[in-house]
């Protein structure tokens, strides 16, 4: 059960996906906690599907949320969320944390496609996503951040996304925005007034043999090969809808 | 501390080193500079046509806008595309050939690495500056190209290109009667500025074309490999 | 060994290829995001706290003796744009070429042998700073300053901006350059104290990365990056 402390809720959800030996994927571990409830939904083919269902909005200041997912050799897991996650201000001044740890074994496949993270006015959240993919593992990961609800100033949001393939970091990116972030975060080098920023990371062993060429996807999005068997689509947009359109289009071009 | 200049298995060469990392003598590098429109690229194209059958050649261009001159050479098909490299110059070719030659040195070394041993590399500068000359760290000899239409007083005015280039080419002599340029006066002024250094008057439209310049290049190459 | 070596290394005329790179400013100008002094300043500020901080920390860590190959690989991960990785390696190679003549040492020769196509420029900068007898903080300053002086100089050429205004931008950013250099050295010390290269900052600037890919696809441009 989740632990309520004076400063906030601590909750971690855990998923383990395993090859069930019959061409499908079983979920020997599927444990939600507190506000992070998990539901298994109808999958397709060999893929097991899980939905993260937020039982209450959050994280609030002082909360510590975590999700840990492990995909074993031969297993295929798809994870989505039922709604956007909204970071809100809490009672205290403490920041909230959201830590995602994903582990994809050699021969496993993970599609991590949650809804947006929205940084509401007055909130203070640090998100970290760390993914370890085995040498022949496959990954599709989407991360979208929206700065403020419609017409609202954003809160403070810091995020770090690290993707390792066979132990070697192929992507390590931090972004800090909102009040109190270091200068220039909304200026012409970083976001230039765009309120939605997103990344799509695709790891496939075949990229090691046949790397993709970099290309633009519209004015404010680019696909670029990383230093490893992976590509990144990086995009900024005026709002969440436009951002999603660009990333969906990119995902379709990458063959889903 | 020594610089490994003649170290056969040392790291990549530094600048004007006459040898490759494996100890063999590298390609002769000749720079071509001069004002805008004087016919540098046309001269490079003509030299490539005149020399490519006997020599292994490559060209590095330093354009004001990235690839203009390189594109011209590609369109004219004077050399296969892998033998032509364009260096970006941040709008200042004269900086890239004189003050900070590092990108050009990368380009000439990469050409030798990628297309095999070369006899000759022509390094062309975009014509952004009448006084621009090539660094001795980049080229072994330089040609300064002016033309009769740019004014017959250029040789008299002098300047580092006209005065010190290893070869001065006065181009487009066929236009002299139309622009009122006095070739004899240009020759006399050039002689006064350059003493014994050679001057070639050429018209690429004439039958002799680039012959004299090509002969000069061959001489330099013979001296280089001797 | 002399502290004045920092002036030689940080000089905008140090012949290491920087003049042909705009630090992303050419793309930002064309996109209409840099239009004058104020937007140049905000551009430089954003660049300083992202790419500048990262470069400064890598340079400092290299001075403190962090393993070069690990640093280079960590720099790859922090540079998702393939165009920028290419530019960083080319600039690293060019810097090493100039530095091997200026401060000839066996360590620099070894670096050239290990990375014939160049290592990331900030990593090379750190190794060079050490060869020149400079400190981690000196290298961090050099990297942080270079990351804003490059775009400022380029915008003078791109927009015919008054050079006094561009220099004013750099002068106004100096206290922030101080802070970035301090943070960079702090991170670099953690790296060598055992935290490894993961302790290095990874601050990113999405529009610079996207703009770099856009710029690399242009047929006609003034700057290499």
Going along chain B from its start, the domains and CATH numbers come out as 28-225 (3.40.50.300)
How far apart are alpha carbons B26 and B12 in whole angstroms? 12
Kindly indicate whether the ipTM for this predicted assembly is greater than 0.90, answering yes or no. yes
Chains that touch B (3 or more CB pairs under 8 A): C
Structural domain that includes position A155: 3-253
User: CATH class for domain C19-208?
Assistant: mainly alpha
Q: What is the pLDDT at residue B219? A: 97
**Among B10, B55, B83, which residue's Cα sits nearest to residue B214?**
B55
pLDDT classification of A60: cutoffs 50, 70, 90: confident
| Tens digits of residue pLDDT in C11-40 | 999 999 999 999 999 999 999 999 999 999
Q: Which DSSP string corresponds to A5-60? A: -SS-EEEEEEEEEEE-SSSSEEEEEEE-BTTEEEEEE---TTEEEEEEEESS--PB
Nearest chain C alpha carbon to B4: C109
Number of domains forming the structure of chain A: 1
Q: Say yes or no: C102 contacts chain B, CB-CB below 8 A.
A: no
pLDDT, one tens digit for every residue, chain B (226 residues) = 444 444 434 455 666 678 877 778 899 999 999 998 899 999 999 999 999 999 999 999 998 776 778 888 988 889 999 999 999 888 888 899 999 999 999 999 999 989 989 999 999 998 777 778 899 999 999 999 999 998 889 999 888 899 999 999 999 999 999 999 999 999 999 999 999 999 999 999 999 999 999 999 999 999 998 8
Domain ranges within chain C, ordered by starting residue: 19-208
Partner B contacted by C13 (CB < 8 A) = yes
Q: What is the pLDDT of residues A173-229, one digit of tens each?
A: 999 999 989 999 999 999 999 999 999 999 999 999 999 999 999 999 999 999 999
Cα–Cα distance between C22 and C209 in angstroms, integer? 13
Phi, psi of A205 (to 5 degrees): -55, -30
Distance of alpha carbon A73 from alpha carbon A246, whole angstroms = 31
Q: Can you give the pLDDT at residue C120? A: 98
For the full predicted model, state whether its pTM sits above 0.90: yes
Bridge-based pairing state of the strands A117-119 and B120-125: unpaired
Q: Is C172 left (phi over 0), alpha (psi -120 to 50) or beta?
A: alpha
Confidence band (pLDDT; 50, 70, 90) for A5?
low
Residues C219/B67, Cβ–Cβ less than 8 Å? yes
Residue from the list C31, C202, C213 with its beta carbon closest to the beta carbon of A224: C213
How far apart CA C222 and CA B154 sit, in angstroms, is 29
Find residues 122-181 of chain A whose CB sits inside 8 Å of chain C: 160, 162, 168-176
The answer, for B77 touching chain C at a CB cutoff of 8 Å, is no
What per-residue confidence (pLDDT) applies to B2? 43
Helix ranges restricted to H, chain B: 40-51, 68-75, 93-94, 102-115, 154-157, 160-164, 176-179, 183-194, 211-225
In degrees, to the nearest 5, what angle opens at C-alpha A42 toward C-alphas A40 and A44? Answer: 125
Q: How far apart are CA A139 and CA A44, in angstroms?
A: 17
Q: Considering only CB atoms, which chain C residues are within 8 Å of B96? A: 19-20
Contact assignment for A183 to C33 by CB distance below 8 Å: no
Contact flag C15-B88 (C-beta cutoff 8 Å): no
């Amino acid at each position: 059960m989740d632990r309520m402390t004076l400063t906030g809720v601590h909750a971690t959800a855990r998923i383990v996906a395993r090859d069930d030996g019959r061409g499908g994927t079983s979920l020997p571990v599927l444990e939600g906690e507190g506000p992070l409830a998990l539901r298994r939904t109808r999958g397709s083919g060999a893929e097991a599907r899980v939905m993260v269902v937020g039982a209450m909005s959050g994280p609030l200041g002082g909360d510590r949320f975590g999700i840990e997912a492990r995909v074993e050799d031969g297993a295929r897991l798809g994870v989505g969320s039922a709604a956007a996650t909204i970071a809100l201000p809490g009672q205290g001044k403490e920041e909230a944390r959201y830590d995602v740890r994903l582990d994809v074994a050699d021969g496993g496949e993970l599609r991590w496609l949650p809804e947006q993270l929205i940084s509401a006015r007055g909130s203070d959240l640090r998100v970290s996503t760390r993914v370890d993919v085995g040498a022949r593992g496959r990954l599709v990961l989407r991360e979208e951040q929206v700065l403020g609800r419609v017409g609202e100033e954003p809160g403070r949001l810091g995020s770090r996304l690290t993707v390792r393939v066979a132990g070697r970091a192929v992507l390590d990116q931090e972004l800090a925005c909102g009040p109190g972030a270091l200068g220039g975060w909304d200026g012409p080098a970083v976001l230039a007034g765009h309120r939605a920023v997103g990344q799509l990371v695709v790891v496939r062993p075949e990229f090691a043999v046949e790397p993709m060429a970099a290309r633009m996807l519209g004015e404010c999005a680019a696909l670029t090969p990383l230093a490893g068997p992976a590509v990144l689509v990086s995009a900024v947009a005026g709002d969440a809808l436009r951002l999603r359109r660009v990333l969906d289009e990119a995902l379709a071009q990458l063959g889903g | 501390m020594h610089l490994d200049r003649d170290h056969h298995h040392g790291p990549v060469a530094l600048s004007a080193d006459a040898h490759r990392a494996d100890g063999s003598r590298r390609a002769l590098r000749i720079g071509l500079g001069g004002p805008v429109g004087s016919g540098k690229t046309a001269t490079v194209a003509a030299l490539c046509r005149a020399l490519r059958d006997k020599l292994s050649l490559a060209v590095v261009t330093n354009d004001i806008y990235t690839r203009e001159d390189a594109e011209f050479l590609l369109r004219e098909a004077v050399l296969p595309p892998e033998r032509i490299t364009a260096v970006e110059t941040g709008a200042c070719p004269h900086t890239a050939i004189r003050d900070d030659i590092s990108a050009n040195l990368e380009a000439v070394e990469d050409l030798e690495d990628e297309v095999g041993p070369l006899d000759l590399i022509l390094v062309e500068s975009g014509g952004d500056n009448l006084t621009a000359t090539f660094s001795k760290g980049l080229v072994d000899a330089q040609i300064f190209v002016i033309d009769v239409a740019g004014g017959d007083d250029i040789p008299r005015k002098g300047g580092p290109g006209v005065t010190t280039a290893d070869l001065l080419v006065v181009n487009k002599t066929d236009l002299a009667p139309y622009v009122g340029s006095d070739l004899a006066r240009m020759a006399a002024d050039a002689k006064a500025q350059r003493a014994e250094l050679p001057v070639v008057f050429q018209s690429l439209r004439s039958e002799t074309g680039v012959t004299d310049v090509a002969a000069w290049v061959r001489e330099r190459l013979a001296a280089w490999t001797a | 060994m002399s502290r004045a070596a920092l002036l030689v290394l940080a000089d905008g005329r140090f012949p290491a290829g920087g003049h042909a790179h705009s630090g992303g400013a050419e793309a930002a100008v064309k996109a209409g995001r840099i239009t004058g002094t104020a937007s140049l300043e905000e551009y430089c500020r954003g660049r300083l706290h992202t790419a500048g901080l990262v470069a400064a920390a890598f340079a400092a860590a290299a001075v403190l003796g962090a393993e070069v190959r690990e640093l280079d690989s960590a720099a790859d991960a922090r540079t998702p744009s393939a165009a920028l990785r290419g530019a960083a390696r080319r600039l690293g190679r060019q810097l090493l070429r100039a530095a091997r003549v200026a401060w000839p040492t066996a360590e620099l020769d070894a670096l050239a042998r290990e990375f014939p196509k160049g290592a990331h420029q900030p990593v090379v900068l750190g190794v060079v700073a050490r060869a020149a007898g400079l400190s981690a903080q000196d290298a961090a300053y050099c990297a942080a300053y270079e990351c804003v002086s490059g775009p400022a100089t380029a915008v003078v050429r791109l927009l015919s901006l008054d050079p006094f205004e561009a220099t004013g931008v750099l002068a106004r950013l100096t206290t922030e350059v101080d802070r970035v250099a301090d943070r960079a050295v702090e991170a670099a010390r953690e790296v060598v104290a055992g935290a490894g290269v993961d302790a290095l900052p990874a601050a990113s600037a999405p529009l610079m990365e996207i703009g770099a890919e856009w710029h690399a696809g242009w047929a006609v441009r003034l700057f290499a990056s």
